[in-house]
Amino acid sequence: MSSTAFIIPVDPKAPSSKAVPSLNLAKLWSTVPAGSKPPKVGATRIFYNTPEEKEGSNLTALTSLGDSFGSKSGDSKRELVRKVVGSAVKAVKDLGEGVKEVAVDASLDPHAAAVAANLSAYKFSLKTEGSASYKPETGNYPPEKLSFHPLAGSKDWDSGAIYAKAQNFARTLMELPANILTPTAFTERVKTEFAGIPNVEIIVRDEAWAQEKGMRTFLSVTKGTDEPAKFLEIHYNGASKDSQPLAFVGKGITFDSGGISLKPAAGMKLMRGDMGGAATVVSAALAIAQLQLPVNLIVATPLCENLPGPSANKPGDIIYAMNGKSVEIDNTDAEGRLILSDALYYVSTTYKPHTLIDVATLTGAMVIALGEAFSGVFSTSDSLWQELYAAGEVEYDRFWRMPLDDEFGPQIHSSNADLCNTGGRPAGSCTAALFLKAFVEGIEAKDGGEAPLRWAHLDIAGSMEATRPTPYQEKGMTGRPTRALIEFVRRSSQQ
């Protein structure tokens, strides 16, 4: 018989809770051996056969809020709730398969508690043990091992669960190996996930369409592989037809070998996640559609592989992009900006959004600059940066603004073409952002007024992977910044 686990955050200085009436929390907590200091944030103690019931065998996990909980507020308090709930879920998860149901006292912050519970329970595996293993040939994914519900239901808990499950979807897409998640398989999986959600249209374009559009920089990257490229569009119409849309563009390199400029073998398998930009914008769109936010959203993801086949791009090749600019390929491993350039021009000119955000695992320089803690943001709009920053702080999916300045221009403008796809090692993430800027239409202000289009480029090369666990997320692909993007759109829709 399976047990129900009750997770209850506890303030060590004043242990009390009315979440479970039959539970004397103060008395239970008093049995925990006391040290000279209160237990650290997330320290979890498990009590068996508590609360007692006639049938079944429950357990209670009390998790410490630390000694400074009373002084916390706003975003810092919200993050503390995520840490303690995540730590408790991990402790319960370690107990094995006897626990199926988890009831959470989410009264401190239902949204944050739901996020932490669902993120910390996630585990990706392709092991073949048991009946719940992933079956690549059928596309069936194993069911979640833990089922969560709050002790007191709320809309905030429901929204938090949607945020977290969207991020987990992005994590799965990023973790799946490239032989399973090809560009074609990516589009099929997206169709499955969005099935039945109202106000959504999924459009899958092929290489013939891209050729007709003149997407030569995009198509140049896929020349080295036999795997057909795809251009995926998701249209979510949550507002009136005449309401101007916002747009997301995501880099979708399902595997990046570097092409002719081959990457070192060590760690190359990480490049199955080089479609992290596509994974996060698609997953954010999934949550936005599930929440039925009152916005119109266009999502575009160019999807392909970058391999060193006999027809692959060569260093020194010059390609003419969709907007007519000539691009010299100095390094075939700088392919992300090639596929994004055509996508950005297409979206900005075809749909004329008021805001355009692209997300890409673009540069190793960003890993050096910011590590794993922050996603880098390059933006032409101060207001857009401020809105992204605020959304990132709320979800603790944080951003840091980087310089987007023409001073870096000579590094990418001094070749035989209009642009060179690399500018050397100095300021590598900045020159990449400046390269992309040349393909976004509408970001220049006219007659002293505001620009028609606000644009931001998010470089997530560092934040794409967690090399060390956090209280509510294990090591591996992170699915960031999915939650921050959802929150950004939610807040924007309320203005």
Encoded tokens for 270 = 């990480």
The secondary structure of residue 484, as a DSSP letter, is: H
Quick check: 366 and 461 in contact, CB under 8 A? yes
The secondary structure of residue 260, as a DSSP letter, is: T
Catalytic residue of the set 77, 213, 216, 263 = 263
Beta strand pairing call for 355-360 and 246-250: parallel
Residue 491 annotated among the catalytic residues of the structure: no
Quick check: 137 and 144 in contact, CB under 8 A? no
Encoded tokens for 227 = 């795997």
Residue 155 annotated among the catalytic residues of the structure: no
Q: Based on the number of CB atoms within 10 Å of its own CB, is 428 exposed (0-12), middle (13-18) or buried (19 or more)?
A: buried
- Residue with structure tokens 């979708």? 252
User: Under 8 Å CB-to-CB from 117, ≥6 apart: which residues?
Assistant: 7, 85, 86, 89, 102, 104, 148, 161, 164
Length of the chain: 495
How far CA 132 is from CA of 60, 96, 141, 300, in Å, comes to: 27, 15, 8, 33
Euclidean distance between CA atoms 443 and 243, whole angstroms: 19
Return the ∠ at Cα 240 (arms to 238 and 244), rounded to 5°. 90
User: Under 8 Å CB-to-CB from 348, ≥6 apart: which residues?
Assistant: 247, 356, 439, 440, 441, 442, 453, 455
DSSP string spanning 339-350?
A: HHHHHHHHHHHH
The secondary structure of residue 271, as a DSSP letter, is: G
Q: Which of 407, 193, 226, 388 is nearest to 304 (CA)?
A: 226
What are phi and psi for residue 408, nearest 5 degrees? -85, -10
- Residue with structure tokens 């959203």? 297
Quick check: 326 and 320 in contact, CB under 8 A? yes
Angle between helices 482-493 and 276-290 (to 10 degrees): 40
Catalytic residue of the set 337, 454, 480, 490 = 337
Reported in sequence order, the residue ranges of 226-269 that DSSP labels E, i.e. its strands, are 230-237, 246-250, 252-256
Quick check: 17 and 28 in contact, CB under 8 A? no
Quick check: 300 and 248 in contact, CB under 8 A? yes
Coil/strand/helix, residue 47: strand
Which residues carry out catalysis? 263, 337
